[in-house]
């Protein structure tokens, strides 16, 4: 996948939702056993969405909530480890910066803490369960970007 063409699209749920929802269904509902009602929280229409396409095929997604929280970061198993998650995060961080937010936050699954730390995020607060999965909150200031 080293020379594969990666594209990150940005847009509304109306534009990207069909492809993004399939990725989220596979990653969160099938792989991680997140209950349907927790995954589909009714907030997608208010969010700015990101879709990663590898050689034209949708393989990853993320969303930026109006309050500058990044969430629902998901990459299909066969595309993990190739920089797609980082590309999605950079796109979401850049969008938050363009929107004038002073910082971004997210709730990271604890197995992904090191991934987000490499992007400059700092964990804060206690570990907590979300959909039965351990998480920690993380913060990234955008000043000086």
Q: What is the mean pLDDT of residues 77-89?
A: 95
Return the pLDDT at 71: 95
Q: What is the mean pLDDT of residues 100-115?
A: 96
pLDDT in tens, 30-79: 999 999 888 999 999 999 999 999 999 999 999 999 999 999 999 999 99
Spatial neighbors of 95 by CB under 8 A, at least 6 apart, are 10, 48, 50, 64
Residue 1 has pLDDT above 60, yes or no: no
Q: 74 in a domain, yes or no?
A: yes
Return the pLDDT at 143: 81
CA dihedral 108, 110, 111, 113 (to 10 degrees): 60
Residue 145 has pLDDT above 80, yes or no: no
Residues 129, 144 contacting (CB under 8 angstroms): no
Number of domains in the chain: 1
Q: 1 in a domain, yes or no?
A: no
What span, in angstroms and rounded, lies between the C-alpha atoms of 123 and 28? 22
Q: What is the mean pLDDT of residues 69-91?
A: 95
What span, in angstroms and rounded, lies between the C-alpha atoms of 34 and 72? 12
Return the pLDDT at 129: 93
Q: 83 in a domain, yes or no?
A: yes
What band does 86 get if pLDDT is binned at 50, 70 and 90?
Answer: very high
CATH of the domain at 122: 3.40.630.30
Per the structure, the complete domain to which residue 134 belongs is given by 6-141
């Amino acid at each position: 996948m080293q020379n594969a063409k990666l594209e990150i699209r940005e847009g509304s749920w109306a534009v990207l939702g069909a492809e993004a929802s399939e990725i989220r269904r596979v990653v969160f509902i099938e792989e991680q056993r997140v209950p349907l009602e927790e995954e589909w929280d009714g907030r997608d229409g208010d969010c700015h969405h990101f879709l990663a396409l590898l050689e034209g095929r949708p393989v990853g997604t993320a969303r930026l909530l109006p309050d500058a929280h990044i969430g629902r970061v998901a990459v299909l198993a066969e595309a993990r480890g190739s920089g797609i998650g980082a590309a999605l995060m950079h796109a979401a961080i850049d969008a938050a910066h363009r929107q004038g937010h002073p910082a971004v936050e997210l709730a990271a699954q604890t197995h992904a803490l090191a991934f987000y730390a490499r992007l400059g995020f700092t964990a804060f607060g206690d570990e907590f369960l979300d959909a039965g999965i351990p998480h920690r909150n993380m913060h990234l200031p955008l000043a000086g970007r």
